[in-house]
Amino acid sequence: MKPYLKEHPWSIIEEGFDQTKHEISESIFSIGNGHMGQRANFEETYTGASLQGSYMAGVYYPDKTRVGWWKNGYPEYFAKVLNATNWIGLKLVINGIILNLNTAKVSEFKRELNMKEGFLYRAFTATLENGDIVTVEATRFVSITMKEIGAIEYKVTPVNFDGEIEITSFLDGDIINSDANYDEKFWAEVNQTATDNKALVTVKTKKLDFYYTSKMQTFVDTDGVNIEPTTASTREKYADVVFHAPLKQGKTTAIYKYAANVTNRDHAHDVLEAVATAKLTDAVSIGFGALKSAQKDAWDKKWQDSDIVIEGDVSAQQGIRFNIFHMNQTYTGEDARLNIGPKGFTGEKYGGSTYWDTEAYCLPFYLATADQNISRNLLVYRHNHLEKAKENAQKLGFTKGALYPMVTMNGEESHNEWEITFEEIHRNGAIAYAIYDYVNYTGDKDYIGELGIEVLVEISRFWEERVHYVPRKDVYMMHGVTGPNEYDNNVNNNWYTNRIASWTLDYTLQSLRDLKETDPSLYQQWVEKLHLQPEETTKWEDIIDKMYYPVDENLGVFLQADNFLDKEIMKVEDLDSKHLPLNQNWSWDRILRSCFIKQADVLQGMHFLNHEYDLDTIKRNFDFYEPMTVHESSLSPCVHSILACQLGYQDKAYDMYLRTARLDLDNYNNDTEDGCHITSMAGTWMSVVQGFGGMKVIDHDLHLRPFIPGKWDSFSFKIVFRGARLNIHVTQQHIEVTNETAVDTAVKIFDETVHVGGNETVSVKTK
Ligand code: BGC
């Protein structure tokens, strides 16, 4: 698709209204605050194609599973993030005509996502069917400082006429999910009221009893004169208040709508309506202007910790800030019950549930840009689901251990494609790896003794039972698995899965040893609580020693799986481009038989366990696998970009970075209308910080090995590391590290230790 958004360092700007792009923009311009989110739907009536979407984190529905052929072990349902009460709605009737951008003539249209201050702005001029012309300016945000509050300022000015406007400000809880399996409505009526300028709708999910109350208050004034509402009405799951205001040519009618959206996830259900009233009263007394400036201050703080500045390339600057903005909108880490859905609050696809994407791709972003507790909460989330993961393993016939689900909302498996649900078990390794990553980055070893060890032991027990011993070869193998490359499934001995399994066993044993040494009594408590037997740890050692890894000595590469080399080996560049993307042009059968790779697989291992492999090994594997990789998962390019940086393949690194840097802004995969690729946005951040910045933590030392893409004048990124906040500025000549805190710190730049005292800047030459 031809890019249609204007380049700007801090804003996403759409000028001119193209209805065919509206649903894409609805995703891109979404707003969220970690607690709830809203697609960039119009407040006023719009009868063109649109996905009305308002989502509340953690409120989901168990939609009955739909599969062609049932397999034992499939989950009964797929947990879906729920599209909830539309709180933004305003119906405007101007001199008898409904304002509707699908029927009016639209000019001067501008939509802007202001990422610096965290709000959505829209302006347009509409010529109605009778020739009346109005201009509209609308601003809205969901508040970061008051998580349950959304606020709208909507201004209408008649250009060429006097007349009357009827304004219906409403709450509509009769909402359906666009992806419901059986077109079922998930919400049931509870209560609706409307009096004066206030209205309330409480609905509840038909299953699981999530109660959801929205309460709104609306104010209207024309040219500064307050207008009283004329009527208020309700019907099932709906409530509104209606105003009639005079319109005078050139004089503005301003509407202020505040909404509190509260659920029984956070408050007892019998006090929900009272809570909504109290929150709404607070928000109204603060007022739109003050709420908006608090929003700006809150975003200032977020940018202070997580901004990346790219000089000399506005398009790249806009792309990376867009990604950081959405990451910060999606997960704020205060609530350990929440996680990061691949589409965040921007759409319904993927059910809004948790995937291994969180541990493998998102965690590094939060580790380096936010308070330690925020990433810790991502680990606690999995700890809270441990019992469910144990049940999941039992359901599949294991006698012990934990298998975390491929997709989940509440710890139970939601996924239902056997070759993924039952076989893509490498996800368990990513969850163990995340504990390592967290401890390695933060130095918070206590986490292992507090919660981490329990997760590690149960995952290790799963691996112990999932491998099988092959006596004639004296090795352990793992058959019937799917690696990260879903274009080759149900394979034997996927190198990455075998490797991450064995690595987990090793890390678990090492963590147990460390705990025994540092806190013997805590160690003993865990041994008892987990009924850990010496035979188990002995078996784990044996598996580590005798794990089978497919390799090809001639090529010097690890094999993605047994018999990988028996496939017809070819490069993507040798394919006619008409075949790409394969997933849209080839049958599934043809994809599976081919050598083509969806996303990093062996190379995912080289990325995670980078410290275990020398450069030559990484290079041989990269040179072998990357040319066969089609990167048809948006999670793929970042891993390749980071490894390419390490190998000095600067053009390749930049090329890979570009593939996701503006994935949604340029609708690269032609699917942004479904929602933005939130988890791959974290990958783009990794490409810049871990790739171009070369940031790594090895043995408690922060390492940097930056290089700067030729197109850029400079780039800088912020990271928080062990109490210090550093701003790393890389130009073609220098690397400057500014310590923005008083905490003395040291950084290894190209392996040389550089001390950066509190509030100091140190500069070294770029290599
Ligand atoms: C990828 C998975 C990923 C999922 C959700 C799939 O296309 O292959 O690795 O977990 O998307 O992002």
How do residues 609-625 score in pLDDT, each as one tens digit?
Answer: 999 999 999 999 999 99
State the average pLDDT over residues 122-135.
98
With bands split at pLDDT 50, 70 and 90, how would you rate the model's confidence at 68?
confident
Q: Give residue 762's identity as a one-letter amino acid code.
A: V
Q: What is the CA radius of gyration of the chain?
A: 27
State the average pLDDT over residues 380-395.
98
Ligand 1 center–CA 506 separation, angstroms: 27
Examine the pLDDT at 632 and tell me if it is beyond 80: yes
CA distances to 52, 707, 732, 735 from 767, in Å: 51, 8, 9, 9
For the chain, the average pLDDT equals: 97
Are the CB atoms for 442 and 372 separated by under 8 Å? yes
Peptide bond into 581 cis (omega under 30): yes
Are the CB atoms for 53 and 41 separated by under 8 Å? yes
Question: In this structure, are strands 696-698 and 119-127 parallel, antiparallel, or unpaired?
Answer: unpaired
How do residues 421-470 score in pLDDT, each as one tens digit?
Answer: 999 999 999 999 999 999 999 999 999 999 999 999 999 999 999 999 99
- The residue whose CA has the least distance to atom 12 of ligand 1 is 342
Token pair recorded at residue 382: 């999995």
Q: Can you identify the CATH homologous superfamily of domain 5-66+75-303?
A: Glycoside hydrolase, family 65, N-terminal domain (2.70.98.40)
User: 3-state class of 731 per DSSP?
Assistant: strand
What residues contact 325, with CB distance under 8 A and at least 6 apart?
113, 115
User: 3-state class of 646 per DSSP?
Assistant: helix
In this structure, which long-range contacts are made by residues 332-335, counting pairs with CB atoms below 8 Å and at least 24 apart in sequence?
332/33, 332/34, 332/35, 332/144, 332/374, 333/34, 333/366, 333/370, 333/371, 333/373, 333/374, 333/375, 333/377, 333/378, 334/34, 334/374, 334/377, 335/34, 335/35, 335/57, 335/58, 335/377
Q: How far apart are CA 431 and CA 383, in angstroms?
A: 10
Ligand 1 center–CA 39 separation, angstroms: 22
The highest-level CATH class for domain 371-393+424-630 is: mainly alpha
With 0.85 as the threshold, say if the pTM is over it.
Answer: yes
Ligand 1 center–CA 670 separation, angstroms: 16
Are the CB atoms for 181 and 63 separated by under 8 Å? yes
Atom number of ligand 1 nearest to Cα 598: 8
- The residue whose CA has the least distance to atom 7 of ligand 1 is 633
Atom number of ligand 1 nearest to Cα 486: 8
Domain borders along the chain are 5-66+75-303, 307-361+632-767, 371-393+424-630
What residues contact 72, with CB distance under 8 A and at least 6 apart?
none
Examine the pLDDT at 2 and tell me if it is beyond 80: no
- The residue whose CA has the least distance to atom 3 of ligand 1 is 357
CA quadruple 146, 371, 344, 638: dihedral positive or negative? positive
DSSP notation for 438-490: HHHHH--THHIIIIIHHHHHHHHHHHHHHSEEETTTTEEE--SB--S-TTS-S
Q: Give residue 202's identity as a one-letter amino acid code.
A: T
Q: Where are the alpha helices (DSSP H) in 29-93?
A: none
Q: How far apart are CA 683 and CA 690, in angstroms?
A: 10
631: phi > 0 → left, psi -120 to 50 → alpha, else beta; which? Answer: left
Q: How far apart are CA 532 and CA 46, in angstroms?
A: 61
- Provide the percentage of residues in the chain whose pLDDT is more than 90: 96
With bands split at pLDDT 50, 70 and 90, how would you rate the model's confidence at 668?
confident
Partners of residue 276 on adjacent β-strands: none
Binding-site residue ranges: 356-357, 598-599
Among 635, 663, 674, 680, which residue has the most ligand 1 atoms within 8 Å of its CB, making it the best to mutate? 635
Question: In this structure, are strands 253-263 and 211-222 parallel, antiparallel, or unpaired?
Answer: antiparallel
Of 726, 729, 694, whose CA–CA distance to 712 is shortest? 729
CA distances to 341, 458, 465, 503 from 462, in Å: 25, 6, 5, 13
Examine the pLDDT at 705 and tell me if it is beyond 70: yes
Binding-site residue ranges for substrate: 356-357, 598-599
Sheet with 724-731: strands ordered across:
308-311, 714-721, 724-731, 734-739, 761-765
Ligand 1 center–CA 490 separation, angstroms: 17
Tallying the residues shown for the chain, one arrives at 767
Atom number of ligand 1 nearest to Cα 484: 9
Q: Can you identify the CATH homologous superfamily of domain 307-361+632-767?
A: Maltose phosphorylase, domain 3 (2.60.420.10)
Q: Exposed (0-12), middle (13-18) or buried (19+): which is 277, by Cβ within 10 Å?
A: middle
State the average pLDDT over residues 312-326.
96
State the catalytic residues.
486
Of 179, 172, 148, whose CA–CA distance to 51 is shortest? 179
Provide the pLDDT for residue 353. Answer: 87
State the average pLDDT over residues 564-568.
98
Enumerate residues lining ligand 1, CB below 6 A.
342, 350, 355-357, 484, 486, 598-599, 633, 635, 679
Examine the pLDDT at 141 and tell me if it is beyond 80: yes
Token pair recorded at residue 633: 């998962």
State the average pLDDT over residues 51-79.
93
Ligand 1 center–CA 679 separation, angstroms: 9
Token pair recorded at residue 150: 């959304």
Give the angle subtended at the CA of 177 by the CAs of 332 and 37, to the nearest 5°.
25
State the average pLDDT over residues 236-257.
98
State the average pLDDT over residues 526-546.
98
Question: In this structure, are strands 133-142 and 119-127 parallel, antiparallel, or unpaired?
Answer: antiparallel
474: phi > 0 → left, psi -120 to 50 → alpha, else beta; which? Answer: left
Partners of residue 6 on adjacent β-strands: 13
Token pair recorded at residue 513: 């040893």
Among 357, 404, 588, which residue has the most ligand 1 atoms within 8 Å of its CB, making it the best to mutate? 357
Q: How far apart are CA 530 and CA 516, in angstroms?
A: 15
Provide the pLDDT for residue 1. Answer: 66
Ligand 1 center–CA 680 separation, angstroms: 9
Provide the pLDDT for residue 522. Answer: 98
DSSP notation for 696-729: EEETTEEEE-----TT-SEEEEEEEETTEEEEEE
- The residue whose CA has the least distance to atom 8 of ligand 1 is 633
State the average pLDDT over residues 159-166.
98
Which string of b and e fits 394-403 if b means at least 16 CB within 10 Å? eebebeebbb
Give the angle subtended at the CA of 756 by the CAs of 754 and 758, to the nearest 5°.
165
Q: Give residue 70's identity as a one-letter amino acid code.
A: W
Range in 173-187, 269-283, 595-609 with the lowest mean pLDDT = 173-187
Token pair recorded at residue 93: 């009737």
Token pair recorded at residue 355: 């995937």
- The residue whose CA has the least distance to atom 6 of ligand 1 is 633
At 435, give phi and psi (nearest 5°). -65, -45
Examine the pLDDT at 490 and tell me if it is beyond 80: yes
